[in-house]
Amino acid sequence: MATYAIGDIQGCYDQLIHLLDKVNFDPAADKLWAVGDLINRGPKSLETLRFLKSLGNTFTTVLGNHDLHFVAMATGAQTHGKKDTLQDILDDPECLEYCHWLRQQPMIHCEKLDTESGRQTFLMIHAGIAPGWSFKKARMYGAEVEAVLKSDKCNKFLNRMYGDEPDIWHDGLTGMERLRVITNYLTRVRFCNEETQLNLAIKTGPKTAPVGFRPWFEYQQLTPDKVIVFGHWATLEGVTNWPNIHALDTGCVWGRELTALRLEDKQRSSVPFNSSK
């Protein structure tokens, strides 16, 4: 049995199937994890969502910003954007079922696996976590957003989810401000400073970090038994240069590659955008 973590799919269904074929993925024996952004911007969001949902307990995902955006659109909390490619799902008779299914998914997934390096705890997120957040704290904060998504307050949250303020985390935050900062860290962060202030404007690589800011993962000090896998940041091109922190968004939807990481031995496999089954 193997566990594969896959980068941002974003509706690139043909490449997803090709990649799973390449690694000989067996849904009866293997597990598939996804770092979020399952849909949007790519050509086949409906096929992607339908397939992944059909995998049942074989599949584990966390929510990315594009997944939350779809939920906001499906519930009427947000309108269609110019770059969105979600109309196929919105027009599908099972649209609300897909929306409900996504609302049940976690913001963070944490699991222990036996690997070639011994027993390791994997934290999977879409974008990142704040300086000073332990795995335990990150899961606690993520659970706050998950609870709202599953509740009758979901629409109120989705209506006010968008925005860059407040741009700094502290334990005293309450209400929507607290939920927005948690959501922005888990689904949007690239750069922050050691005081946990976010810079959400810069979306390019680490060399373009604003003065006083660094990639969020450079503040993480992990023991060898802890591993982080994440997506969201395509301009990293899958490279962090930090042991036990693995970037998996390799820009498939932008014409580059879709990548999977076999967690047990950290072996990577990729297929190019111009590929199909």
Is residue 126 a contact partner of residue 35, using CB atoms and an 8 Å limit?
yes
The string of pLDDT tens digits covering residues 29-57 is 999 999 999 999 999 999 999 999 999 99
Report DSSP state, residue 111. E
The architecture (CATH level 2) of 3-272 comes to: 4-Layer Sandwich (3.60)
CA distance linking residue 48 with residue 38, whole number of Å = 7
The one-digit pLDDT tens for each residue of the chain (277 residues) are: 999 999 999 999 999 999 999 999 999 999 999 999 999 999 999 999 999 999 999 999 999 999 999 999 999 998 888 899 999 999 999 999 999 999 999 999 999 999 999 999 999 999 999 999 999 999 999 999 999 999 999 999 999 999 999 999 999 999 999 999 999 999 999 999 999 999 999 999 999 999 999 999 999 999 999 999 999 999 999 999 999 999 999 999 999 999 999 999 999 999 999 865 4
DSSP assignment of 143-199, as one string? HHHHHHHTSTTHHHHHHH-----S-B--TT--HHHHHHHHHHHHHT-SEE-TT-BEE
Q: Name the 3-class secondary structure at 115.
A: strand
Q: Where are the domains of the chain?
A: 3-272
Cα distance between residue 234 and residue 250, in whole Å = 5
Q: Cβ distance 39 to 74 under 8 Å?
A: no
Residue 117: its pLDDT value, please?
95
pTM of model > 0.95: yes
User: What pLDDT, in 10s, does the model give residues 239-266?
Assistant: 999 999 999 999 999 999 999 999 999 9
